[in-house]
A and B are shown apart, each in its own frame.
Chain A
Amino acid sequence: MIELKNLTKRFGEMVAVNRLNLSVSGGEIFGFIGPNGAGKTTTLRMMGGIIAPSEGSVMIDGINMADHPENAKKRIGFIPDRPFLYEKLTGMEFLKFTADLYDIEDVLFYERSEKILRQFSLYHWADELIQSYSHGMKQRLILSAAILHDPKVIVVDEPMVGLDPAGIRLVKDLFRSLATKGTTVFMSTHTLAVAEDVCNRICIIHKGSLIATGTIEELRLKAQVQEGDLEEVFLILTEGESVP
């Protein structure tokens, strides 16, 4: 469903992402972890078609993002790390805006939007301006908008930031249920417990390069750790380095 081939991004002299090769199947929840400045957000933005790679390609459901960006984007629900929205629209208007961009039929939109808004506890706020929403509510609204068009792939950057425990539980359940229905979730996160809890496979990226991919057990083997959680594995594999 997702294929990254030699994906590279340079900003001037600095290489943010270096020859990244990844393949993620349909229905998989894929965790993308790494220290600060490792290149996670840059990779996700290239996958979402927000920035262009310097080299390499992003294939979504067999469609090359560089050649057919509109078609590829139609298959993605993109959730950025920071919830910047059109503050002067109401929550419902923002959903309608998104629905129109993705060409969703009106009848279907009303049916789905009501359900999703209720699911994310935003229904009673639907007619309020987004500027009056809290950070967590904005995050939930973006999540609602991202799943509105029933995408084949969810690309999500730090999904748990700003969410309360109930929100975190909701998102975890949502990702699991979407994956069961065949949706691929590509998730970047610093919350290792969440990654450990929901992801089928995890990839560790460091200084722009992929250093390990696999299930938790496979990563443990690679880190030569018999027991211990993802945090320990992560610290060993990244040698405890962190870019401030």
Chain B
Amino acid sequence: MREILILLKPRFLSFKNRAISGNLKGRKIRFLLFATIGLAFWGGTFSIFYRVLTYFHRLEEFGDILAYKLLSMAIITFFSILIFSGILTTLSKLYLSRDLSLVHSMPVSREKIFLSRWIESTIDSSWMVLIYSLPFFLPYGIVYNAGPFYYAMLGVNLLSFCLIASSLSALMVMVVAIFLPAGRIRTVFIFLGLFLFLLLLISFRLMRPERFVRPESFMTFMVYLKNLETSHSPFLPTTWFFDSLRAAFSGTVGNVLFDSALSWSCAIAIIFIATWVSGAVYFKGLSKAQTVPRRFFSSLGFKKRGYEFFLKFLSKPARAFVVKEAKTFLRDQTQWSQVFLIVALIVIYLYNFSVLPLEKGPMKMEYLQNLISFLNMGLAAFVLSAVSARFVFPAVSIEGDAFWIVKSSPVSIRTFLWIKFFVYFVPLLLLSELLIVVTNILLHVTPFMMTISIVTIFLMVPGIISMGIGLGAIYPDFQSENPAQSVTSLGGLLYMTLCIGFIASVIVLEAGPVYHVFMTGIRGASLKGFQWLWLVGSFSVVLILCLMAVGIPMRLGEQKVSRYELGHYEISEKVHKSESIW
């Protein structure tokens, strides 16, 4: 046990030192900001779930069935998330961490190294799921008037639940690592997770849950649910957790203790098995992880390239960066696999418009169609901002440790940033215009609205991309192992806030004049003098705003990156960082 605690110490000390060193003020602001957002999300989820359960509780006959069904679904979902998160974290802790060579060179047994890593992994993969599972479980206690026993058993069972998920993940990873290098396992699991998520997302949307709002469908749904009231397999940890909570509502102590005992004995048994397995196979897998996996598709040879023809119009340095960006993106599975997710979201986005029940709306159909089309500009721009936050904002940080190449190359930082801009501008403009045009076609909008939408999006996209590149350059993180995560930083948050402000300003500025033009068109009248003035004024301000959104962030980003100094040794870097970033 002493060795395990010693192995865990660096993690604890790093955490402690991080809390007391560096820029405390900046960290406090960031902590407060994220804590507020987290708390708001937690509170929001709690209040929604509380209201839903209160509503269910009032429904006679079906209420409890629905509540229990929901509880069972929530437990299965949390378990799946815990397993998935556990796999990725364990994989990283056991096979991919940078400090593994150091740890394995120490006179400590493999089982103890495994246990220390597994404890870290369990904490890392479970703490957030635990916190965000509470707004689901706590309202049950309140709505069903459960006593302190429920909350105590909830805590006890949640712990064993996390331990089971984490030890199962570790077992799976260790067994698979015997056959596949760790780098490849991560790819496989990421794909599997993404595929399952997409499948769930699409199937849920195709179920058209909005139909259940209609009373006639709702009754059919109730009957269906009643038929589903069957018991789950008694061998699953999710069943024990569910049964123990259900028994705790009614205060059936015997049943609760029995299910809790099952859960804990299972957790202890799997931890024991995993530790035993680690002694036998962990080192073998680790040795395999040191080798680089073979590429799925090996190179055709450098001279057989066709893309150069399409990039002839670019200057050589620009072409060099475009090719580098494209290749890096296409060869990084964590990057390009997310394109599937975006495609699925677009399909669902468009599908939503195709099934909009406009004919049942209280307003005139033509008016409603065009109103939705107008608001859709904001929605499409927001979707673009979210996509940009994931891909464009980290575009500068993604250079990582290799940023010295850019700095030492005979290409100015301005050129470098503009190349980055155009690399993302072209595909994202096409994506946004595609969304707008197809949704407008589905809505059968007037040619005027179609033109306004296309032009507005054309004006907004450069601003959104430029803010992404610019703010990404103002808040770069070249040290991050996963630059995509930089979107969760202060800079990322600022980027999203600015995007929302920018989109809202454009929509608000255009709303008045567009309404007048549209209504006069419907009435067959023509615009009056002040309306023309308003129209020209508003659109001029929109144009200026869009130009500012392009120019200012790029300029500020250029200044910041030009001053950014790489590579000086630790002490000076700390001093400089604290001066320059905050």
Contact = CB atoms under 8 A, between A and B. Distances in A.
A19 interface: no
B218 to A, nearest CB: 52
B332 interface: yes
Given A52-B565, A103-B317, A70 B302 contact: no
B568 A42 contact: yes
B327 A14 contact: no
A52 B319 contact: no
Contacts of A13: 575
Nearest to A78: B408
A70 B410 contact: yes
B301 interface: yes
| Residue among A16, A48, A76, A88 facing the most chain B CB atoms (10 A cut-off) | A88
Interface residues of A, number: 46
Interface string A44-55: 010011111000
B404 A84 contact: yes
A164 interface: no
B320 interface: yes
Interface in B384-415: 400-402, 404-405, 407-412
Given A88-B332, A89-B328, A41 B302 contact: no
Nearest to B331: A88
A167 to B, nearest CB: 21
A101 B315 CA distance: 9
A37 B92 CA distance: 34
A190 to B, nearest CB: 14
- Do most interface residues of chain B lie in helix, strand or loop, or is the interface mixed? helix
B572 A12 contact: yes
A33 B243 CA distance: 72
A129 interface: yes
A132 B572 CA distance: 32
A103 B566 contact: no
A179 B516 CA distance: 75
Given A100-B320, A129-B331, A51 B568 contact: yes
Interface in B42-69: none
Interface string B538-574: 0000000000000000000000001101111101110
Contacts of B571: 11, 14
A109 to B, nearest CB: 10
Contacts of B360: none
Contacts of A80: 404, 408, 567
A89 B292 contact: no
B317 A101 contact: yes
Nearest to B291: A132
A11 B327 CA distance: 37
Contacts of A102: 409-410
A102 B324 CA distance: 15
Contacts of B579: 12
Interface string B284-295: 000000001001
Interface string A71-89: 1011010101010111011
B317 A100 contact: yes
Contact of A97 (B320, B401, B576): B320
Contacts of A110: 303
B249 to A, nearest CB: 53
Nearest to A82: B401
B529 to A, nearest CB: 53
A84 B400 contact: yes
A45 B566 contact: yes
Contact of A51 (B299, B410, B566): B566
A126 interface: yes
Interface in A86-105: 86, 88-90, 92-93, 96-103
B101 interface: no
B214 interface: no
A50 B407 CA distance: 5
B143 interface: no
A11 B579 CA distance: 9
A191 interface: no
B500 interface: no
Contacts of B303: 110
B402 A85 contact: yes
Interface string B324-335: 100110011000
B409 A41 contact: no
Contacts of A90: 299, 302
Nearest to A73: B410
A11 B567 CA distance: 12
A88 B327 contact: yes
A242 interface: no
B22 to A, nearest CB: 14
